[in-house]
Amino acid sequence: MFVSDLLKDKRVLITGGGTGLGKSMAHRFLELGAGVTLLGRREEVLAETKAEFDRDFDGRTATASCDIRDPEAVEATVEKLWAEQGGLDALVNNAAGNILAPSETLSHRAVDAVLGIVLHGSAYMTLACGRRWLKSGTAGNVLSIVTTYAWTGSGYVLPSAMGKAGVLAMTRSLAAEWGGRGVRLNAVAPGPFPTEGAWSRLVPNKEIEKTWLNRVPLGRVGRHEELTNLAAYLLAEQSGYVNGEVVTIDGGEWLKGAGQFSVMDQLSDEEWAAFRPKKG
């Protein structure tokens, strides 16, 4: 769908790039000519993904082990990447944590664990990269992966909903503040895209999964390539006038959930016929 060198020589840092959607995005960016740095806590996971990528894209994948909840570790990691790579062109805030639970059962440590990754971690990463771009006067691009419940809210994932809402607010705030100085920020809000990390934590059983996915008008989950192509577009110069935007990619899921009468798709033709007023 794109020219093969769309992201040629772009240096992209992807938090959570060793697994799931982060890994899929990294793979697509490599296909389009970028160099990627995969950041995460688990070194062995990063090394495994790098080895896999190196078979096809020799020498264009780097790794950085870092807990983004730790501001000093973030600063040191970003400083090292700047020194080693001569700067970066884009940051993808993709790392996240999530806990599915009745909110009243969450301890303060559970709240902090998720907000620390989603909200604080994304802010630390964005500020560490942003201030370097502003200082050197070079262009920068931040893409944050949020969710549709960043604006609707959602029961049972409270800290994640709070954190993603904050990341969206950060995106819009800094798009206005930094846009004139060459740094643009956008977000993508995916619906359900199966990954081991999300499914193992967020899908308690097959039955609830079916009920959950039935809410998607398109009748299916997202394909990773649908998301990775959208992300590639938002990182490319061709999307240069898009700033402060959040693009939803969820098959219409959240709108259907919001529409008061959308559940009527459960009625059969016979039930619709019986409901229609009789003539005369």
CA angle 29, 35, 36 (to 5 degrees): 75
Contact flag: residue 98 with ligand HXC (CB under 6 A): yes
The listed partner (ligand HXC, ligand NAP, none) that binds 109, CB under 5 to 8 Å by sort, is ligand HXC
Q: Check residue 44 and report its DSSP letter.
A: H
Contact flag: residue 97 with ligand HXC (CB under 6 A): yes
* 232 close to 7: Cβ distance less than 8 angstroms: yes
Contact flag: residue 220 with ligand NAP (CB under 6 A): no
Query: Which residue lies nearer to ligand NAP by CB, 182 or 194?
Result: 194
Contact flag: residue 202 with ligand HXC (CB under 6 A): yes
Query: Which residue lies nearer to ligand NAP by CB, 42 or 181?
Result: 42
The residues near 253 (Cβ < 8 Å, ≥ 6 apart) are 148, 191, 192, 215, 216, 217
The listed partner (ligand HXC, ligand NAP, none) that binds 107, CB under 5 to 8 Å by sort, is ligand HXC
Query: Which residue lies nearer to ligand HXC by CB, 145 or 236?
Result: 145
Beta carbon of residue 278, minimum distance to ligand NAP (angstroms, whole number): 46
Stretch that binds ligand NAP, among 13-21, 77-85, 99-107, 259-267 (CB under 6 A): 13-21
Quick one: which of 94, 160, 171, 248 contacts ligand HXC (CB under 6 A)?
A: 160
Contact flag: residue 159 with ligand NAP (CB under 6 A): no
Order of strands, edge to edge, in the sheet holding 140-145? 61-65, 35-40, 11-15, 90-93, 140-145, 183-190, 246-249
Contact flag: residue 215 with ligand NAP (CB under 6 A): no
Please, which contacts does 276-280 make with residues 24 or more away whose CB atoms are closer than 8 Å?
Answer: none
Q: Which of 120, 137, 162 is nearest to 15 (CA)?
A: 120
Task: Give me the phi and psi of 174, to 5 degrees please.
Answer: -75, -25
DSSP run (H or E) holding 150: helix 149-152
Burial 229-250 (b: 16+ CB within 10 A, else e): bbbbbbbbeebeeebbbbbbbb
The listed partner (ligand HXC, ligand NAP, none) that binds 19, CB under 5 to 8 Å by sort, is ligand NAP
* 117 close to 63: Cβ distance less than 8 angstroms: no
Stretch that binds ligand HXC, among 80-88, 198-206, 234-242, 255-263 (CB under 6 A): 198-206
Task: Give me the phi and psi of 191, to 5 degrees please.
Answer: -85, -150
Contact flag: residue 18 with ligand NAP (CB under 6 A): yes
Contact flag: residue 113 with ligand HXC (CB under 6 A): yes
Residue nearest to ligand NAP (CB): 197
- Active site (annotated) includes residue 156: no
Give the residues across from 190 on adjacent strands.
249
The Cα–Cα gap between 161 and 46 comes to 27
Q: Which of 95, 98, 220, 110 is nearest to 145 (CA)?
A: 95
Contact flag: residue 39 with ligand HXC (CB under 6 A): no
- Chain contacts with ligand NAP (rule: CB under 6 A): 15-16, 18-22, 40-42, 45, 67-69, 94-97, 117, 121, 145, 147, 190, 192-193, 195, 197-198
Active-site residue list: 149
Interface positions with ligand HXC (CB under 6 A): 96-99, 101, 105-107, 109-110, 113-114, 147, 160, 192, 197-198, 201-202
